[in-house]
Amino acid sequence: MRRTCKLLMAIFLGVNLIFAGGCFFTGSQGSGDDNIEASDFTLDPAKEYKIEFMMWGAKDEVDNYTALIDKFMDENENVTVSITTQDSTQYMSTLTGRLSGTMPDLFYLPEYEFRPWVDSGRLLSISNGFTEAEYSSLWSTAVDWYSYNRAEKTLGVSEGSDLYCLPKDIGPWTLMYNVDMVDEMVKNGKLTQGEADLLADSDNPLTWKQFTDICVKIQGYFGTEKNNDKFYAIPYYELSSAVWSNNADYFDENAMHSTISSDEFCETIEWLWDLMYTYKVVPKSTGDSAQNMFLAKNSAFCWVGPYLTPMYHQQKMNYRLLPVPYNGENPEARSTTWIGTLGLAISKSTKSPAAALALMKYLSLNESAQKDFYTRGQLIPNLKSMALDRESFLSENDGSVALWPENRSVYCDIVDGFGGDTKAALGKTGGDKIGGKVRPHYHTFENSWLNALNTEISDIYALKDKSGIRARLKAYDPTMQAYLDQSNRSAGIIVD
């Protein structure tokens, strides 16, 4: 077996080309067509290829990918892959710094960096390297996320768009709860069986009121009655999950106009304020991480994504996934949380597109690799048919899913985006009430707006009277709009 060559990138490249929260690229700097002929994506068995793959990750992930890439090279003996690893905190600065020199052939690209990178012409279109069968094997959301029309500067699949990345993984982020703590409350008469059943229902999300009422009871029992001043029902609440689950948003469809002063957005911030100050089930601040609070049983709820599966299994946590609550008083509201994803991208300057695409497909689409990844608890399958297969990932007794929570189908339900595919795979009827969206800064060319808004909302949370929330958001709206205008101008989009 051949071994990969690891290049451990410990040196921070000298020129800091990407500014915190900003965007290095301005306008479309690339030139010419992003496409190459389909024949250029075909490996020549008589040719030797050497390519570089750049990634970040903890030791376990690096080891997993090293083993997988070794297997890829065993199956493709004329391809040699060197792996460059970088600390996640310096990854994008290092990658951007390499634009002035030699770029890696294949590399990780976070979804919130996709738009500036593809718009500036730094990525190779892979559209001509795919069959219809390969397209259809992926979650449609993933194909949509990584498609772009550079001429029109529009995201998503459309006439004239190209596919530029494949998902390295798809990471829905949702709530979970400690089953043993809930069972203890039911046993001691502090929570009704009906309330426990609401929590255990993977198809019907709680309303904000139901969730709040349960949190108050949990806080009263584990916090007040047990005299634990470190306990809070939930360590924090995800802003986007709350905003979207009230049919609100940060901006309009094209990220041109701010919508943070809408009634729905304001209602959302008021509810989050209530969780902290009126009901006291969320801490104003904490010196511990959310995961540590959950592991120490200083919270009953926490946030979780697939990549945390091995850790919670190792800690022997008895937990279930919980679809995020929605505002039951808003008839347009639905349970909607965020989905994080890392793309696998090919540099437009690569000299070996065939080898780069072959490795990209292997890491993202290979059935054996995908099963190995989910068996290790590293990700839900990128292959939709595998993710929804009741004989594999959704199996009730297959040993390959031993690390996963029993109701892991919630992850799939989030990714299928109200499409009903997960329910159909499980033989369930009724409407799909659970969905997800890619993180909000995916839609913008710069993400400084999000950092600034988070700071403003943190200050709003500190208000002693929630009656001032709407006025604060209305007053901040022009600042939010200015950030969006600057983001769009940086890409050459005309702002009204």
pLDDT digits (tens, 9 = 90+) for 167-225: 999 999 999 999 999 999 999 999 999 999 999 999 999 999 999 999 999 999 999 99
> Which amino acid, one-letter code, is at 144?
D
- What residues of the chain score a pLDDT lower than 70? 1-33
Q: Residue 274 contacts by C-beta under 8 Å, 6 or more apart in sequence?
A: 212, 466
Mapping DSSP to helix (H, G, I), strand (E, B) and coil, where does residue 340 land?
A: strand
H/E stretch holding 344 reads strand 335-346
C-alpha distances (whole Å) from 268 to each of 58, 65, 127, 217, 241 are: 35, 41, 40, 22, 10
Cβ neighbors of 157 (< 8 A, separation 6 or more) are 143, 144, 147
β pairing state of 165-172 and 335-346: antiparallel
Residue pointed to by tokens 């700071």? 455
d(CA 297, CA 299): 5
Given a contact cutoff of 8 angstroms between Cβ atoms, the answer to whether 491 and 27 are in contact is yes
pLDDT at 4: 55
The three-state secondary structure class of 380 is coil
242-to-75, 414, 493 alpha-carbon distances in Å: 46, 15, 30
The 3-state DSSP class for residue 117 equals helix
pLDDT recorded at residue 1: 52
Rounded CA gap, 252 and 255, in Å?
A: 5
